[in-house]
Amino acid sequence: ETGVTQTPRHLVMGMTNKKSLKCEQHLGHNAMYWYKQSAKKPLELMFVYNFKEQTENNSVPSRFSPECPNSSHLFLHLHTLQPEDSALYLCASSQVSPSGLNFGSGTRLTVV
């Protein structure tokens, strides 16, 4: 167990669907992240939240909408996605200064 739990593990959705990814961390960290990992590409940082405040939006399309209600929970709301959005979406958490990120197991998303 990494202390970061993501659900669901797998998700198949149509381009007109709306779905949400959930992440919960049990480590007492105060920063949370969404990363995207596509085949043969490096991990791409999407969003960073520090003490519930969004501090980074890495030019992510508006069809991805993050939500951080508290320091332990992070959501990624998805709507009208494209097939090229199919990827592994990883949530991570860390302390204030990066002593390294703890990743969840990820959600493998397929857009059909």
Partner 1 sequence: RKEVEQDPGPFNVPEGATVAFNCTYSNSASQSFFWYRQDCRKEPKLLMSVYSSGNEDGRFTAQLNRASQYISLLIRDSKLSDSATYLCAVNMVDSSYKLIFGSGTRLLVRP
Query: Are the CB atoms for 105 and 9 separated by under 8 Å?
Result: yes
State yes or no: residue 31 binds partner 1 (CB under 8 A). yes
Q: How far is the CB of 49 from partner 1 (least distance, A)?
A: 9
Tokens of 10: 């797998």
Interface positions, 42-101, toward partner 1 (CB under 8 A): 42-43, 45, 48, 50, 55-56, 90, 94, 96-101
Contacts of 60 (CB under 8 A, 6+ apart): 46, 47
Distances in whole angstroms, Cα of residue 75 to Cα of each of 26, 65, 89: 15, 8, 11
| CB closer to partner 1 out of 64 and 107 | 107
Token pair for residue 11? 């998700």
How many residues of this chain bind partner 1 (CB under 8 A)?
Answer: 26
Applying CB under 8 A, which residues contact partner 1? 2, 31, 33, 35, 40-43, 45, 48, 50, 55-56, 90, 94, 96-106
